[in-house]
Amino acid sequence: MLDTGIRQFRMAMGIVWGRRLDPANVERLVGDALATLAQFGEPGADVGMLVEGPLTDPAARRQSAASNLRRTARRLSVVSPFYAGQFAAAGVEVGRLDPDRLGAIPVTVKRDLVERAREFRATDVPAFLATRTTGTTGRPAEIWMSRYETRLWPAIGALAAVLRDDIRPDDLLQVNISSRATAAVTLDVATCGLIGAGCRLLGVIPPDEALDGLGEGGVTLLSATPSYLGELVAAARRRGLGPADFRLRRIDVGGEVLSPSVAAAARATFGVPVVNDHFGMTEILPVTGRSCEQGHLHHDINTGHVEYLDPDTGVPAAPGALATVVVTPYFPYRDCMPVFRYDTRDLVQCLPDEALTCSVSGLPATGKVLGKADQAVRLGRATVVTPRQLVEAVEALPTCPWPARFRAVADDGRLRLALPTAAVAEFGVAATVAHLADRGLDVDLVLVPDDLGTRLRPLRCDLREATFAARPVPSGV
């Protein structure tokens, strides 16, 4: 117990002082938490504070944010050619930064990362492992990680997973995300390894093959994207599979909009009580977000600073308004290719200015991610149709067109919506238009051939990885 206390103290002091944490120390804390859990049935609140943080008090949060922002900016002004130029051009005194002074610094956008990638690399850290964004929203950005980050991020993630009972030593995690998502795959493997759980990496293979793995391998956890989960549910229903055919206890998704229709169908088909809808992206690792039981999105404010800005003006969004999520990962959690005020372009709706009553009420929250700001459709100065509105409405059609394929554009102030013919089959155009109108979408509907459906809207399930098992054998051979 004394050793555990020393390790907790070392990590806590590293966080307070803003020095690089010792990944080996955090890894040993994972083992301590597992041992305590096995003996006492709970890991203890003391180690939990290291992950969840004591930042439920607004004054403490503000003081912590100011200290972390200054530390992070001071380092970037020395080791990051990109941000050294940004801070100098803005006339920013990095030693005096606080949340109210951030507006002088321009937000960083994906185009900056793509076109000026080399300038983001820290000059004091050797690059070790590269990962890329998926490219579903444009040209992929390449992000480099250091050896330190590839050990620290899984260690912190594993500690949080043990404390929240997300992963247990007897679990088997099946990962059905693109194997080209190097950072996410690396984190999954290393996290399972620290906890002692099994990890099966299958990638985005044909859904029937993934279902075979879920049904035959004793898989208890599934990680996928919402669009691929929709394909899995459709394939399972086609094969007549149900809860008795699986051992899953939880499904985790992220990276796209998860509709209530697909979530409910997944719970019923696979027999899981919940489908966790997480927020995360390669550019802002290790800052993530998780949903609570009331559907709020709570971002991790211990490893980074999160702002909610008006997508048009860039000023802090008002309660109840739409906002884009802007994230600054803190040092020492991010060190090889850091970003500062990175505009994710993920739209959320700010909550009303009133006290929260959920289980994570001590932390700031917004509504669920509504999709990318650049994919929202503006029908007028005050009318915005978000990707979530469209996904939820289309995936609620009786035809169960999972995942939703559509293209929506503004046409002379009206919403023009293209759908594959199969999405309205045996339901009818008029009924579909009425269905959408009931959900607040007055549309001019256009149908396209089903074989053109995948061209309407790129999805992460389209990052298909071919396998020999999926190739048909030519007849007569």
Q: Give the pLDDT of the chain (477 residues) as one tens digit per residue.
A: 445 555 554 555 556 667 788 999 999 999 988 988 887 766 555 555 555 555 667 788 888 899 999 999 999 999 999 999 999 999 999 999 999 999 999 999 999 999 999 999 999 999 999 998 876 666 888 999 999 999 999 999 999 999 888 999 999 999 999 988 889 999 999 999 999 999 999 999 999 999 999 988 799 999 999 999 999 999 999 999 999 999 999 999 999 999 999 999 999 999 999 999 999 899 999 999 989 989 899 998 889 999 999 999 999 999 999 999 999 999 999 999 999 999 999 999 999 988 889 988 878 899 999 999 999 999 977 789 999 999 999 999 999 999 999 999 999 889 999 999 999 998 999 999 999 999 999 999 999 999 998 899 999 999 988 777 666 666 665
User: How far apart, in Å, are the Cα atoms of 385 and each of 314, 380, 389, 411, 465?
Assistant: 20, 10, 7, 13, 33
For the record, the structure tokens of 7 come out as: 């390790």
Torsions phi, psi of 24, nearest 5? -65, -35
Residue 112, Cβ neighbours under 10 Å: how many?
A: 19
Q: Which residues contact 141 (CB under 8 A, 6 or more apart)?
A: 110, 113, 114, 117, 132, 133, 282, 283
Strands annotated E in 285-351: 289-291, 297-299, 304-309, 322-329, 342-349
Residue with tokens 């051939």: 449
For the record, the structure tokens of 441 come out as: 């979408």
Q: Report d(CA 390, CA 203) in Å as an integer.
A: 27
pTM summary value: 0.92
Closest CA to 86 of 373, 342, 323, 286: 342
Q: Which residues contact 264 (CB under 8 A, 6 or more apart)?
A: none
